[in-house]
A and B are shown apart, each in its own frame.
Chain A
Amino acid sequence: MNFIGLLSRLGVDTRGFDRSTLIFPGLESRLALALAALLLVLALVWARSSVSDLSSRPRRFFLIGLQIFAAVLLAGLALRPTIQLASVARVTDRVAIMIDSSSSMTLPAAGGGNRDAEAFKFIERNHEFFDQLERDYLVSWFTFDRDLRELPGRPTAEWKSEGRGTDLMAAVSGAGAAGTAPLAGVIVISDGADTTRLGERFRAGKGGEAVKALLADFPAPVNTVFCGGGGEIRDLAIVSASHDDYGFVHNPFEALVRVRSEGNLAAQTPVIFKQGDRALATKTIALDGGREVEATLSFTPRQVGEFMFSVEVPPVPGELTTANNVVRFPLKVLRDKVRILYLCGNPSWDERFLRQTLKKDPAVDLVSFYILREHWDDYRARQEEVSLIPFPTDELFTEELDSFDMVIWQNFRGAMYMPGAYPQYMQLLNKYVRERGGALLMIGGHRAFFGQGMMDPILVDLLPIVPDDRIPNYLESEFKPVATEAGLRHPVMAIGEAGENPADVLGREPALLGFNRVKGLAPGAIGLVAHPFERSADGGPLPIVAVREVGAGRVAAVMTDSLWVWSMAAAGAGVSAKPYQRFWENTVRWLLQDPEMRLITFSSEQGRVSPGEAVSATIEVLDDTYHPTDRATVKVEVLEQPTGAALTPTEPEPFGVGKYRVTLKPSLPGGYRLRATATLNGRELGHDDLLLEAAEESAEWRDVLPRPEILAEISKASGGVAIAPGGDLKSLSFRRSALEQVTGTRDLPLWDNAVVFALVFMILTLTWFLRRKWGLR
């Protein structure tokens, strides 16, 4: 019932109010309700009983009625009747207009110009439509790629299409959630080149179901305007290259490559697997226009390390873009097994316990050659009665050497067993260590570390010690070696329990039984363990364990053949044999340049940047005693970069002890390899390489074909309309909501005014008067 007219006639100001309602706030109070009900009941009972003495029936009914009316009035007052006036406004719906600003919109559209220019012209050309739309609705304008960004209003100039991916469904969902007013509809202006899983599902022919499911609860129609159609499209693209995260040296590594072609292209194309500019494998595949073709390429890495690889297809004249013709990826090539060549001059307990330790590690592939018989030993049997085999020196050194990660040379006088070709083999060993980065471990005994020119000079040049000319070259005496200052921190000597001082461990272990005499440390070598009182020729402590970095490789020398007592004799003395195992494990790891034991690391938080984007990289340097140092000279050089690029890193800038920062700005797309080298006191501490790829965000460029079918499916699933830029905008679908909003209220209580109280008083007074007059009490 509308009381507004009545109230206006009664002089109540009802301007601005559209609606009135009678409400009873007292109904919300249980106490008031209970009181009112009690009052009515009591009134009814009393009304009847209080007029029972009245003989006149009409008078009786009149009094009962009057009394009940009074009770009803009082009960009504308890409910606090109120007339509520309300101002009501209808809500304006909103419309979201989404403009695709991903990089693919910079590609050509039919009729010349780019897709984003076509979109802008569409908006400009239909300005009257958009004007009306803005009058009828609350219109919000957005650009989107992988993210959604609201614009201040309708764009008046072309925007920059730089987005690195396109997520249509996220954009539509974002539009639905942006704003409080109900959504009447969405207009999406795009080329449809979605780079998310939605795009993949459309390629697989299952896009329709996906869109339907995603838009099942969307509250408004999504209209789409397709920009980018028409004209012949030619494009050859590598869609993806799937591969393992790691490769293993000497094991085939495979990459599964998917190639898509569009348009009038050749029937075949080569797919090339490259490292830098070097082609590793090529496969020619037949193109199937519009469909993806798979090819598996493989190669066998021969070096451990991290490298930048790429899979490429050659550009096609006139194709849409060449940015998607190459996929680059860094790959770590690891050892699956450490391959060790173990040459031993004769069986001994030192060899036996080292062999046992190495064989315990399933990651070690041990190839051993022990000299079981000298030339003059007569085994007194026919050859078929012995298991002795020829020592294949030529094959080992000329063919197989590079396949080993490490060579152990134990108590072995090589010249005796490699007559004639021994100098050449030493040249190969030298190259193996210095250039290939191989590891050499030389272990002592009475046939090792000879002076007087009896060792090949090339071999001597590799060693961390200088041989002594004195004879005998091996002295027997019991001694407990001591750790040098460098040995206390060197990772090779981490032979105790966690944090335990190596000196304490050495003090506990059984005494060694003899040592090789050497003149001292070679230049650049570090002594880790020394004789407690014997001195070398230069007056320094006589080294028992020494290490050295030589070119790309590492060499270690152990000047005793009695280290095995740290295993068996230690057990007999009730001392742990673990230091023995740890010593050899650490030595092998250090020789194999375990990354955790490097003295220099070169790293960046970003492995991929956009061409022209600056990136920061960090170099951390330890000295050869494994302490951070800022006394080193650090240099960064570019080892590999794309042709034409001229990357110049900034000078390393210190920013902490042992930490340096460089800034890089790769200008051209492609793979870059940089090397940081640290030198301290004239000695190189080592190097580390950083791989960097400069490329446009690849996701956007993988599939740059315009996809009108995605837009059409979105419109269909949501009840919208899909049109081209020249289509009829009047056909676009929008929803009107019937929502109203109460913008203001005014309450007019009926119970707390004098008129109502006077009325109640009058009735009660009349009742009393009539009762008295008619003889009732």
Chain B
Amino acid sequence: MSDEKKLDRRRAASLLASLPLALGAAVGQAQTTPVAPPVFRRGGMFAPEVPERPSFFFAQMIYGEGLSWNPYPTAGRTLMEVLVDRTSIAASPDRVDLRPSDPKLFYYPFLYWTGTREFAPLPQTDLERLRLYLESGGTLLVDDALSTPGVGFDKAFQREFGRLFPGKALERLPQDHTVFLSYYLIDRIGGRTANRPYLSGYNVGERTALIYSGNDLGGAWARDRNGRWVNPTDPGGELQREQAFRLGINIVLYATCLDYKKDLIHTPFISERRRGKKK
């Protein structure tokens, strides 16, 4: 039995539970420009909860047919809720789903692409749109929900990457990359799994425009309708899940602040913090 066909019972159950949500999202239209519901932030400026206009949207890429593009319909929302809770970003909890061909794609400079299965090659026009998207300032987080290299989603994505940037390769992000210190100081990388304890990426200029996670971050973020985690996180347990959320927050902060944390003013503080962490 090939890897892509192996599904444990818990995962199958969580997928079934998320099906209605997925169907609803698939039937619904992608949002246009953000006249979106306000974000309610705890302890706002004037009152305990004050609506703030959302300034960040979790956009997820639709591709292929069916729902394979959406293995965890709640992952984005959960991450956004945690983002709002822990940072100053007024992120909308409502996900925006877009195909690369969507004329509104370029209004969402952050895009999430995930899946478990191998998929058909994207239309050339979609690839060209994605390339332009990345070169114009967009950030693409690619997340292998199967968390298995060489098969399923990873296999298909590597093929598409080769079409997207011919002759180029994904490179491991060094430990001192800004994404690992944009909010949290991250030493360990994990998602639902920790099979590949690193992130890979592709740079456009000095900016890492494409970040690739092989550990199914979405799988760690996803909750069911009762608020329970859809998946366990192995082998690190809930600590690993926390790391997955921190990594997600860092990736969003990197997308919106770029190399801000590499400014000289921060360096001595970060060095000191790291020294403190090691003790």
Contact = CB atoms under 8 A, between A and B. Distances in A.
A372 B42 CA distance: 15
B251 interface: no
B89 A346 contact: yes
Given A368-B263, A385-B185, A446-B52, A513 B273 contact: no
A336 interface: no
Contacts of B43: 374-376
A377 B42 CA distance: 8
A567 B136 CA distance: 7
Contacts of B106: 568-569, 571-573
B184 A385 contact: yes
B88 A347 contact: yes
Contact of B33 (A368, A474, A478): A478
Interface in B174-229: 181-185, 207
Contacts of A447: 45
Contacts of B103: 572-573
Contacts of A387: 181-185, 261, 266, 269-270, 273
B87 interface: yes
Contact of B257 (A345, A355, A383): A355
Interface string A546-575: 000000000000000100010111011100
Contacts of A383: 273, 276
A355 B260 contact: yes
A381 B184 contact: yes
Given A348-B56, A572-B103, A372 B109 contact: no
B276 A347 contact: no
Interface string B238-279: 000010001000000101111111010110011001101100
Interface string A112-134: 00000000000000000000000
B64 interface: no
A583 interface: no
B265 A367 contact: yes
Nearest to B180: A387
Given A347-B253, A349-B55, A568-B136, A367 B87 contact: no
A379 B83 CA distance: 9
Interface string A384-397: 11111100000000
Interface in B100-136: 103, 105-107, 109, 129, 132-133, 135-136
A373 interface: yes
B257 A347 contact: yes
A22 interface: no
A567 B137 contact: yes
B133 to A, nearest CB: 7
Contacts of B132: 571-572
B137 A373 contact: no
A380 interface: yes
B86 interface: yes
Contacts of A567: 136-137
Contacts of B41: 374, 376
A514 B54 CA distance: 12
Interface string B55-94: 1100000000000000000000000000001111110000
A277 interface: no
A175 B181 CA distance: 81
B191 to A, nearest CB: 18
Contacts of B242: 380
B185 A373 contact: no
Contacts of A151: none
B35 to A, nearest CB: 5
Nearest to A389: B269
Given A376-B43, A413-B45, A573-B106, A476 B183 contact: no
A366 interface: yes
A351 interface: yes
Interface string A22-52: 0000000000000000000000000000000
A15 interface: no
A384 B92 CA distance: 29
B34 interface: yes
A361 to B, nearest CB: 14
Given A356-B258, A385-B184, A387-B185, A346 B90 contact: yes
B53 interface: yes
B53 A366 contact: no
A388 B85 contact: no
A477 B136 CA distance: 24
A372 B258 contact: no
A477 B35 CA distance: 8
B152 interface: no
A342 to B, nearest CB: 9
A416 interface: yes
B129 to A, nearest CB: 8
A374 B260 contact: no
A514 B35 CA distance: 10
Contact of B86 (A352, A377, A573): A377
Nearest to B82: A380
A369 to B, nearest CB: 8
B1 to A, nearest CB: 40
A372 B183 contact: yes
Contact of A380 (B86, B129, B255): B86
A372 B182 CA distance: 10
Contacts of A349: 55-56, 109, 256
A315 B59 CA distance: 78
A353 B137 contact: yes
A371 interface: yes
A428 B207 CA distance: 36
A378 interface: yes
Interface string B160-184: 0000000000000000000001111
Contacts of A446: 52-53, 90
Interface string B17-44: 0000000000000000111000001110
Contacts of A571: 106, 132, 135-137
B53 to A, nearest CB: 5
B273 A384 contact: yes
A569 B107 CA distance: 6
A476 B53 CA distance: 9
Contact of A352 (B109, B263, B266): B109
A346 B88 contact: yes
A584 interface: no
A509 to B, nearest CB: 13
Contacts of A17: none
B274 to A, nearest CB: 8
Given A346-B55, A387-B261, A568-B136, A351 B256 contact: yes
A347 B256 contact: yes
B34 A476 contact: yes
A477 B34 CA distance: 9
A577 interface: yes
A561 B90 CA distance: 14
Contact of B133 (A345, A373, A561, A572): A572
A416 B46 CA distance: 11
A697 B66 CA distance: 89
A447 B55 CA distance: 12
B34 A513 contact: yes
B88 A374 contact: yes
A571 B266 CA distance: 33
A569 B255 CA distance: 16
Nearest to A573: B106
A370 interface: yes
Given A384-B274, A477-B35, 13 more contacts: A349-B55, A351-B256, A355-B258, A356-B207, A359-B258, A370-B260, A376-B42, A386-B185, A386-B273, A416-B45, A565-B107, A568-B109, A569-B107
24 contacts: A347-B88, A349-B256, A351-B256, A352-B109, A359-B258, A368-B263, A371-B88, A374-B88, A375-B43, A380-B242, A384-B185, A384-B276, A385-B184, A385-B185, A385-B273, A386-B184, A387-B261, A389-B266, A474-B53, A514-B53, A568-B109, A568-B137, A569-B107, A571-B106
The 4 A-B pairs at the shortest CB distance, nearest first, are namely A572-B106, A376-B43, A571-B136, A384-B276
